[in-house]
Chain A
Amino acid sequence: MSVDLPTLPTPILQSKDFASDQEVRWCPRCGDYSILAQMKKVLPTLGIPKEKFCFVSGIGCSSRFPYYVNTYGLHGIHGRAPAIATGVKLANPELQVWVITGDGDALSIGGNHFLHAIRRNIDMKVILFNNQIYGLTKGQYSPTSPVGQKSKSTPYGSIDHPLTPLSVAIGAEATFVARSVDVDIKHLTMVLERAAHHKGTAFVEVYQDCNVFNPGAFSYATEKETRSDSIVYLEHGKPLIFGKNREKGIRVAEGNRVEIVQLGGDIKEDDLLFHDERTPEPSLAFLLSRMRQPEFPEPMGIFRAVERSTYDESVTKQVEAARAKHGEGDVEKLLNSGDTWFVN
């Protein structure tokens, strides 16, 4: 099969075209650098001119991100980036809108907006930099910090039960849900690319190392020795297999739960759970999102990618439908509507 490639009117862009003139001010070895680098790799591949991107963020270390990308950008207020981005997209549906947020920004102060953007399926990509800590305010625990985490505000350990961002997003019926890790360059690039191509709210959680206030929080997922046992890559249509020698698998057990099984012997690959990112029903994706360390390897990749009409598209359609029904708005008619009378 041959495909006609569209000829792009814009010159081919490169990663450096997306670098802004601002000095990047994250701490040395902060995970944010890698995410920025992968983003700058992905953007030029999308065939979209630079001026058609808009990055919107809240407040936090992560939310400084828009300053470092040479596109349109709006650094907002704490937690409100999805709401701000909704306004951008409503006013100008042609822009590709990216929301950059942190675990505190998205899930604590901004939890409400996060949920509603997702349920409306506004066409925006939401990248949550999860470092399980408040970085910018210098190290308080966050809604994703595990119980027991010691931080500036929890010297005796956190007692809050944490949220799993993916479960929240899937609970709100997100149409695209994915997870990656800052240092897994190839995987992160793939996930960002997939998110960029999704129509609707694409939610990506990136495990991000805050090397100052919560270093190594995700070392199980990044270190060579532990990685293969503690994460499992999701691939559409493929069974969930992990372990140093790909000797372990995930199987659906009775009672709508999953279990780890050893491959070989009685258990074949065919017995395992085969990933299907396109099932309309979000239960499978939810089940996967519940797989947490240390009991389970944590899935990486695209949990869910389904189609549903987007909010901004529906808004435009309603406007068009209203125009088709009533004709182009007529001010004269509007002002003269209702009961009128003359005074002579």
Chain B
Amino acid sequence: MSTATLDAPASTNGKKLENLETVVIRFCGDSGDGMQSVGTQMTNASAIFGNDVRTFPDFPAEIRAPAGSLFGVSGYQLCFSNHDIFTPGDAVDTLVAMNPAALKTNIEDLKRGGTLIVNEEEFNKSGLQKALYEANPLDNETLMAKFRVHKVPMTRLNRAAVEGLGLSLKGADMCRNFFALGLVYWLYDRDAKPTEEFIRSKFAKKPDVVEANLRSLRAGMNYGFSTESFTVHYHVPPARLPTGKYRKITGNEAVAMGLATMAKLSGKTVVFSGYPITPASDILHDLSMFKHFGVKTFQAEDEIAAMSSCVGAAFAGELAVTASSGPGICLKGEAMGLGMMTELPMVIIDVQRGGPSTGLPTKTEQSDLLLAMYGRNGESPLPIVAASGPGDCFSMIQEAFRIATEFMCPVIFLSDGYIANGAEPWRIPNVEDLPRLKIEHLAAPNGENGEYLAYKRNEKLARPWVKPGTKGLEHRIGGLEKKDVTGNIDYSPKNHQHMTNTRAQKVANIANFIPEQTVDGPATGKVLVISWGGTYGAVRTAVLQSQAAGKSVAHTHLKYMNPFPRNLEAILKSYEKVLVPELNCGQLRLLLRNQFLVDAKGYNKVEGKPFLVNELVNVINEFHG
């Protein structure tokens, strides 16, 4: 992906500085090696510099897997560019491998001719054994000939750099990741200031640790500058993104910030109930710091309690929300049904991960769409929205609440592990431009005889929302079938049919109150590619490339999964063929075929990894014929 351009700025120390458009870097090492931390630093430095950035943190499910083992490898990939990008990149330009296990599990993704930086001292007998290498791969000439290899004695150089600070060897080695980062900073001409500030504030209470990390970082930069091994370094100029003020954001951060913003701007309390689960827990962590925005967080005893307490909080008249992942969403099913039956507003966040069962806790997948659609007993359709990327979570979580409160029903918000942990630059919106929820609680009886009619509906078929404590509106509701208008228990055949139809109609009507679906590319043509959720970036990039190659391809990305936008059928029927790439076995495709009788084809993958752009380009081009 890295393409050299002319016009490189002046060189230093006799070393050339070449301009590149886009670079993909991956740091990998042991889970204790601090790879997520340096990856994040490089992301920040690149974003602050003005590049467009996308990231893909990939960590093991085990917290402390045995050191040096293959399954304990933690990786952080980032892509930064001088133009807008939508994915963290396919093939890696520079791979930093801190030990043999990291090399073994990641080398396949390094481009031919790419840069390989290894901590050669870890390629000793025990390190090689733990990675199940029979011979040292660094001695494998055919393998190494494929790359520009830099064997760096990082441990020794780094220990020397921090000498005299009184750190133990272990303490000194803890800074090695910053040595590696420093080297990469030199290689990619990055300004280290933001990282230096980070080190100073993060370890503010431990001056020796600050000093050690700063020294490691500088030692790494100096190493690149002074050794002969590196003859060239690279510069990626800033991207021309839309003007404005930016920050970096992950999907989970955006959800939490969106909820805190909503609480404040609507003057309502957000009651968040959750039970910890990867990759959703960060939403609970972040929100628990936002109490001063009017957010109450409750770590429940399990997901059943989390969901049940949401129903209680919604009944009590506040904005209830819960977040979980597949296994937890399964547990919430029955209480979601209660929320549906009592027609109360609340939002259920599903940060999807690889399933079934405990599955792949730290890996991404889009396989809960049908669970969201149908995972409850009885006829119980619920609106579903799906965010397309980290920043989009901020507005879509608020959109979910708009729908929930306008239509009085639970709404499911789908995210996934890739969106939740991935970061991107986010243009900070103006507070004045943000939406405000318009919520009116009924204040006086709505019946002709001064009685309260709990299921008397408005033109959107929504029933009134009453805040307990309001005089004269005392009423009882529950999960038993109710009589329309009064809300009294009623099991009669005609009424159940009527209520079932009404609940479904209410959800279907939402299609009239959401934006129409848009298409990138020609309005008619040969191939339409439909994506949803976290695959937006990869699919969009791939379609752009196919279009550039002259193919008649258009792309549409769904954020409203139930009901679908009202013009979707017309769009589907404007192309000869429809392709639905998904990180599941064909769940959206099933829904599309079912609703529109369209012969959509799928491209499906469940490897716990996002799509690569290249694979999609190939699939699309082949499908196009």
Contacts and interface: CB of A to CB of B under 8 A. Distances in A.
Interface of A: 20, 22, 49-52, 54-57, 59, 66-67, 69-77, 80, 83-92, 94-95, 112-113, 115-116, 315, 318-319, 322-323, 325-329, 331-332, 334-344
Given A22-B488, A88-B312, A95-B316, A341 B243 contact: no
Contact of B305 (A69, A80, A88, A328): A80
A76 B318 CA distance: 18
Contact of A90 (B263, B296, B489): B296
Interface string B307-328: 0111111111110100000000
Given A50-B474, A51-B473, A339-B47, A88 B313 contact: yes
A81 to B, nearest CB: 8
A50 B468 CA distance: 10
Contact of B241 (A80, A326, A332, A343): A343
B478 A341 contact: no
Contacts of A88: 312-313, 315-316, 468
B476 interface: yes
B148 interface: no
B508 to A, nearest CB: 26
Contacts of B474: 50-51, 70-73
Contact of A91 (B243, B244, B269): B269
Interface in B228-274: 238-248, 257, 260-261, 263-265, 269, 271, 273
Interface string B173-188: 0000000000000000
Given A86-B312, A90-B313, A326-B292, 12 more contacts: A20-B476, A51-B469, A73-B474, A86-B309, A87-B309, A91-B318, A113-B305, A115-B301, A325-B292, A329-B294, A334-B293, A341-B49
Nearest to A312: B296
Nearest to A84: B312
Contacts of A335: 247, 257, 261, 428-429, 431
Contact of B338 (A50, A76, A318, A337): A76
A87 B472 contact: no
17 contacts: A51-B468, A66-B476, A75-B478, A80-B305, A86-B300, A87-B311, A88-B316, A91-B320, A92-B467, A95-B468, A112-B304, A113-B305, A318-B291, A319-B292, A327-B292, A329-B294, A340-B247
Determine which residue in B298, B300, B315, B489 has the highest number of CB atoms from chain A within 10 A of its CB, and name it: B315
Give the interface size bracket for B toward A: 35 or more
A92 B316 contact: yes
B479 to A, nearest CB: 6
A51 B194 contact: no
B569 interface: no
Nearest to B239: A343
A-B pairs with lowest CB-CB distance, top 6: A75-B478, A87-B312, A329-B293, A87-B309, A73-B476, A91-B316
A205 B7 CA distance: 83
B308 A334 contact: no
Interface of B: 44, 47-50, 194, 238-248, 257, 260-261, 263-265, 269, 271, 273, 290-294, 296, 298, 300-302, 304-306, 308-318, 320, 334-335, 337-338, 342, 427-429, 431, 434, 467-480, 488-489
Contact of A75 (B304, B434, B477): B477
The prevalent SS among residues of B at the interface is mixed
A326 B291 CA distance: 10
Given A84-B312, A113-B305, A338 B291 contact: no
A329 B261 CA distance: 9
Contacts of B264: 329, 331
A72 B261 contact: no
B302 A331 contact: no
B480 A75 contact: yes
B309 A83 contact: yes
A43 to B, nearest CB: 12
B471 A51 contact: yes
A67 B476 CA distance: 6
A311 B429 CA distance: 36
Given A86-B312, A87-B320, A92-B467, A341 B245 contact: yes
Nearest to B294: A329
A163 to B, nearest CB: 18
Contacts of B248: 338-339
A337 B467 CA distance: 34
Given A20-B476, A66-B476, A326-B292, A112 B315 contact: no
Contacts of A112: 301-302, 304-305
Nearest to A59: B479
Contacts of B294: 319, 329
B304 to A, nearest CB: 6
B476 A116 contact: no
Contacts of A76: 308, 311, 338, 478-479
B308 A87 contact: yes
A91 B317 contact: yes
Contacts of B302: 112
A70 B451 CA distance: 13
Contact of A74 (B305, B427, B478): B478
Nearest to B304: A80
A86 B291 CA distance: 18
B140 to A, nearest CB: 41
B531 to A, nearest CB: 27
A51 B316 contact: no
Contacts of B431: 331-332, 335
A92 B318 contact: yes
Contacts of A84: 308-309, 311-312, 315
Contacts of A69: 476
Given A51-B472, A77-B479, A322-B292, A92 B317 contact: yes
